[in-house]
C-alpha cells in the first residue's frame, strides 16, 4: 500500500477511490482490511439519512470526519472532527445530509440492534 496524504483526503482526494457496498446507504473503500483479530482502516461514504445500528466497540475506533456531519448520541461531528470510541463504548451512528469519514478499527464492532 502506498502512503497517502492526509491533506489530500481533506481536499477530497477520496472521491477518485473505488467504493463497494458496506451496508444500506454506506459504501466503503478499504485502505487496510485486517482479519477479525487485526486492525482495519477505511473510508466510509454515507448517503443522506444512512445509519449504523447500536454497536459495541471491542477495540478502539478512531474517526476523522472528512466531509458532512456524522452524529451519535453524544453529538454532531463536522468535517475536521476527530472522534475516539474506546473499548466497551456503545452508540449508534447516523447522518442527515450524508458524510465521509476516515475510520480505523482495532477490532470489528459488535452490532447490538437495528435502528438508532
pLDDT tens-digit map of 10-66: 778 888 889 999 999 999 999 999 888 889 999 999 999 999 999 999 999 999 999
Quote the pTM value: 0.89
CATH 2.60.120.10 fits 31-106, yes or no: yes
Place of cell 475516539: 84
Model pLDDT for residues 77-114, shown as the tens digit of each residue: 999 999 999 999 999 999 999 999 999 999 988 889 76
> CA dihedral in degrees (99, 102, 108, 113; nearest 10)?
-10
Separation of alpha carbons 102 and 93, rounded Å: 14
Three-state DSSP class for residue 33:
coil
Amino acid at each position: 500500500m502506498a502512503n497517502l496524504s492526509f491533506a489530500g483526503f481533506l481536499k477530497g482526494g477520496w472521491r477518485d477511490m473505488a467504493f463497494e457496498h458496506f451496508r444500506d446507504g454506506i459504501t466503503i473503500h478499504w485502505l487496510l482490511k485486517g482479519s477479525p483479530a487485526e486492525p482495519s482502516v477505511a473510508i466510509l461514504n454515507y448517503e443522506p439519512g444512512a445509519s449504523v445500528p447500536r454497536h459495541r466497540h471491542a477495540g478502539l475506533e478512531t474517526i476523522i470526519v472528512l466531509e458532512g456531519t456524522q452524529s451519535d448520541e453524544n453529538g454532531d461531528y463536522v468535517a475536521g472532527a476527530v472522534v475516539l470510541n474506546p473499548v466497551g463504548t456503545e452508540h449508534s451512528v447516523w447522518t442527515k445530509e450524508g458524510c465521509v469519514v476516515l475510520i480505523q478499527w482495532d477490532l470489528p464492532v459488535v452490532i447490538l440492534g437495528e435502528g438508532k
